[in-house]
Amino acid sequence: MRVLVACEYSGTVRDAFRARGHYAMSCDLLPTEADGLHYQGDVRNLIHGDWDLMIAHPPCTYLCSSGLHWNKRVPGRAELTEQALDFVRELLDAPIPRIALENPIGCIGTRIRKADQTVQPWQFGHDASKATCLWLKNLPPLVPTSIVEPRLVNGKKRWGNQTDSGQNRLPPSADRWKIRSETYTGIAEAMADQWGQLEGSTL
């Protein structure tokens, strides 16, 4: 398959597909952090190419629920959310046969359409909780590959990346946003294993 991984600088999803023999290119405004086929620039320059599958990770800064309350407090921020939604629409409407777009819970689900699936890293071999929504075009939902059971704190489920109160353990830092935005390898491998087998099939 020819796979375009939009808005990815880590190379995680790109390399999962390449390891399985597919032609995969990542694209982001940032340079790649792992050697490999990467286009540094606007993905809209590429989406009219000959691609079989696009997996898109649009920036969630102005889309996720945790930040939307700032739209009424910071002048101009609501307009940035509208621009981010327009970008999501362009990605979902790209002339590519199969598309998966991922983002945290936020306004895509209320302003564009509900997600087709929500996955967690603990369903794919990671001791971590991070709800990730998937909007799918001509793709089946991902099937969990390895369930990691949580610990129980006062009857509530907690995974390794969470404090007892349920907060994320990752401390504030200049690159925290980059760390939190990266796709877990177990999810990337499930995408490559499960969606990489669909070439030429009819869904």
Domains delineated in the chain: 2-195 (3.40.50)
What phi and psi values does residue 78 have, to the nearest 5 degrees? -60, -35
Asked if the model's pLDDT at residue 177 lies above 50, the reply is: no
- pLDDT, one tens digit per residue, over 18-51 is 999 999 999 999 999 999 999 999 999 999 999 9
List, for residues 123-145, the tens digit of each pLDDT value.
999 999 999 999 999 999 999 99
Alpha helices in 57-195 (DSSP H): 77-92, 108-111, 176-181, 185-190
pLDDT at 181: 59
**81 within 8 A of 32, measured Cβ to Cβ:** no
Question: For residue 196, is pLDDT > 60?
Answer: yes
